[in-house]
Structure formats: C-alpha cells, structure tokens
Amino acid sequence: MRPLVARSSAPLQGSARVPGDKSISHRALMFGALAVGESRVRGLLEGEDVLRTAAAMRQLGAAVDRREDGSWHVHGVGIGGLCEPADVIDMGNAGTGARLLMGLVASHPITCFVTGDASLRRRPMARVTLPLTEMGARFVAREGGRLPLAVIGATEPLPISYTLPVASAQVKSAVLLAGLNTPGETTVIEPEATRDHTELMLRHFGAELRIEPHGARGRTITLIGEPELTGRDVDVPADPSSAAFPAVAALIVPGSTIRLTNVGVNPLRTGLYETLREMGTDIKFESQRVQAGEPVADLVITAGRLRGIEVPAERAPRMIDEYPILAVCAAFAAGRTLMRGLAELRVKESDRLGAMARGLTAAGIKVEAGEDWLAVEGMNGKAPKGGATVVTNLDHRIAMAFMVLGGATAEPITIDDAEPIDTSFPGFAELMNGLGARLGV
C-alpha cells in the first residue's frame, strides 16, 4: 500500500506528454507476435498492464525485447504459429490484455491457463468466452466465467457472424483476433460503434477487412481469415484517456493553461473532449496529423467557467473510461451534470460508479447515483471541502481522479494506495507535479 495525498495547487502551466495509448500498445505487441518478420514499436506504454502482455507474447513463442533507445522490437511467429505456454499466464490487472489474449489463443490448437490479480479475477469474462465458444474453443472457468480459466483452442476453428449484445471493443477485438487463424470470413456486428484500434492496426499489418454501416450508429466488420501479417513500425500516440487527468486538472484550477503533446484523437475515443466542450471549456486540437493510421494532435487546455449538462447514454462507448474524471470536472460546474448509460462502470477494475459516488460525497459534493446513471451537483467554481480519504480498490482511474480533485479542494484528499496507477500511467505524480500540482506522501 502506498498512500498519496493531493493538496490544492497554484495554476498549472507547461507542456507534457502523457504515456502511450494502452489500447494501442496491447494490440501492437499482439499483432507483432502474429506477424512474419520484425515489428518496431515506439512510444509503447511501459505500464504494468502492457508489460504483462509483452510477457504473455514471449510465453506464446514471440521474441519481444526493449532496446536502449526505448523502442520495442517484436519478432513474430506468423498466423497459426503460437506455441503452447509452459506455465500459467498471469495478466495482473490487465483486463484488455486478458480478453484479447483469449481471442488470440482461441483459434490455435493449444491449451493456455490464464489468471490475474484479485481485481481482474472478479471481472466477468463470459462476454468473451461465449462467442469464442461458438468458434470452437473451450473454456474451463470459475462461476460467471471468471479467472483463473483454461483456454482450450479449437483444432478446426469456425468463422462466425456475431452481434455484440453490449458495446465492447474488447469483445469485438477478441473475436477478430480469433478470426485471424480461422478460414473464411469472421463478422462482428456492433449496434453502437466502439473504438476501432483493432481494425486500423489489422489493416496496418496487412489484413483485409470490410467495414460497413449498420443501423444509425453501428458498423459491420468482416475479416478475411488466414492472412499473412507482415512486421510493421508502430508509433504509439499518447493515451487520450490518460491525458484526461491533467486536462481536467487544468480546467478546474483557475488560471491554468497546459499543452499535452501527441495525443491520440481517434473520433471513437474523444467523447470526453466533446462533452467538455459542451460544458463550455476551451480545449484546442493543434497540429493535427496521422500516425500509423491513428489521428493525433496537441491538446491545449485553458481553465474557464463550466456549466452542467446532460451527457447522452449513446456517447458512453466513446468515453467509458473517462466518466470518473468527468464526474470530478462536473463538481466545479454551474448546475447539475447527469451522466447516463454507465452500467459498464459497475464491472470495471472496481465498481467505478459506486466508488465515485462515495468519494465525491465524502469530499463534500452532492451526488445521486442509480444502477446506470450518476448526477453531480456542481459548485459553480467554488472549492469543495475535500478532506476525504478514498479507498481505490486497486483501480487506477479512481486513484487518479481523486488526486485531480484534491488539487482544487479546500482540504487535501488522500488515496489509500497509489500503486495501481502504475498499471496505466507510470510517472503520473511526477508529470502532474511538473505542471504545478502538489502530489506527495
């Protein structure tokens, strides 16, 4: 346990680059492992979650190493070339890594045992194992499909057409990964479009996909199985979900202006920034460009007056990880902010909806919560009381959200354990302090 305290700060100023995008980092290592030849990855997130994926790829037969210049090199085994691991694969707290790994292994004739830490072992995996079972894989798991579990890959995998019952980029990606070593066409239908990093990176490595509209907001993605992926260079942009924490910190501390460089601005990941603009914030995307198929930009954020709004439920797939920090931002707005469509937050690293409601209330902020909604009564720019100690339940986003809140409350806020932050944002406290925050023991 490593407690951390946030105290109110002077205006934040300066420029920083947050760590690489976690979603893209996981995928770069996995696609590199399935490619023929060498892939070079620059800007990889070197947090615990991604390092678990790197270790898993080594256990499955790929060569993965970090060079002195900070780049990562992956020598892949080709589609169908994964070998059976000699030991249990421990994914730590990496929910994305674990679910994608199951898809990766499901269409190979090998057996793989997967586990994780206490938080990951509580998270549901049945949403992934269900479609992969239709493709011929078998799973032996705890009640509710929870880890630890055994993946028994299909000897003759079958292509499927699968409609997502819940918007989930992880489930979609697991099915598409299984489809790589499956003959024929594997199709995923998503009624609500989710982040498309898998599709963009599949094309970057040489796979063939068809993507068509489905309904008002959905898509149909069809993958042609058994392609030959070729090693590629990947420049990982800064993670927009990680950038959200210093961005909101700058918005709620009066007089602040900061620049966050090289941030991924994929339209399916920018729901938070769209929401913040609706709240009246001044956020600019400068120097917009494309890297390895992914749009990036420099974000310039300036503090200003905020107003409460209603965030539509259909925006949730584009910002599901950002609701904890949005709730913090809402505490400083004029009026009430209502967030709907949050059921998925109940089954993240922790019950994030419940954790935010409890923590904000303890800090003197009026909150109402239901099964899938959260309402925050803003204090119109006034500093909340603070003075709370928040239990993070091994959840990095809860930990960082309350550290941001503590930078603008009258009394300090303490989190019980800052160690989980390293899973996605190594160097978080140092980066924030470099901009003028006051995080410390």
Contact 416, 389 (CB under 8 A): yes
Angle in degrees, 0-180, between the axes of helices 240-252 and 271-278, rounded to the nearest 10: 20
DSSP code at position 341 = -
Q: How many Å apart are CA 114 and CA 106, to the nearest integer?
A: 12
Task: Find all residues with CB under 8 Å of 230, minimum gap 6, and list them.
Answer: 35, 36, 37, 205, 206
Q: What strands lie across the sheet with 310-311, from one edge to the other? A: 310-311, 336-340, 373-377, 367-369
> Catalytic residue positions?
321
Q: How many Å apart are CA 407 and CA 358, to the nearest integer?
A: 18
Q: From the CB of residue 86, how many other CB atoms can be counted at a distance below 10 Å?
A: 6
Angle in degrees, 0-180, between the axes of helices 95-106 and 48-59, rounded to the nearest 10: 20
Per the structure block, which two tokens stand in for 71? 């780049």
Question: Tell me, what amino acid is at 343?
Answer: A
Task: Find all residues with CB under 8 Å of 39, minimum gap 6, and list them.
Answer: 28, 31, 32, 73, 74, 76, 205, 231, 232, 233, 234
DSSP code at position 20 = B
Strand (E) or helix (H) holding 296:
strand 294-302
Q: From the CB of residue 344, how many other CB atoms can be counted at a distance below 10 Å?
A: 18
Task: Find all residues with CB under 8 Å of 370, minimum gap 6, and list them.
Answer: none
Question: Tell me, what amino acid is at 44?
Answer: L
